[in-house]
Amino acid sequence: MKPRTRARSVALQALYEIDLTGHPPALVWENRMQDTVLEEKLAEFAHQIILGVWPMANKLDGFIAEHAPEWPLDQVATIDRNIIRIALWEFAVYGKTPIKVAINEAVELAKVFGSDSTPRFVNGVLGSLALRQNEIKQSLIKSSGISTSGANNPVEV
């Protein structure tokens, strides 16, 4: 696994745990870092993903639901939902990851962590979301008061 993919993998696993258990993000992050060896720069990237995605998970989910109408959000596997959240946050909020890279990375994570149909599902939903990148970005910025770097998030991890 490439280094940044590995960092995304750590963030995905943390978000999955937070989503399923309701454990505090700071505790989950601390435990992940005890169990995982990442270079400082990669650990910071994983941390940024968690700090960026989790506080706006409900807003991201709204966009996901719009682009996967045949799959009600409560029927989308938790891991699939978090893979899509990460990629959507990366290209619509974080802004430092090109859309194609975010989608390709999400598909790679889907191959590792999802079911056989997850890569295709993730690719399809993200492909639809990518077409509305600017609209989604403006909506998220407007409703959250966030910067495009995702730095103004209220949750400490």
- Which distant-in-sequence residues (6+ apart) come within 8 Å of 12 by Cβ? 79, 82, 83, 86, 109, 113
Record the tokens describing residue 151, joined without a space. Answer: 């730095």
Closest residue by Cα to residue 44 from 3, 84, 81, 87: 3
| Integer Cα distance of 66 and 6 in angstroms | 29
Length of the chain: 157
| Integer Cα distance of 111 and 76 in angstroms | 16
Record the tokens describing residue 72, joined without a space. Answer: 């009600």
The CATH fold of domain 3-144: N-utilizing Substance Protein B Homolog; Chain A (1.10.940)
Mean pLDDT by 10 residues, the chain (157 residues): 95 98 96 94 97 95 87 90 97 93 98 97 94 89 62 42
Q: Where are the domains of the chain?
A: 3-144
Query: What pLDDT is attached to residue 144?
Result: 67
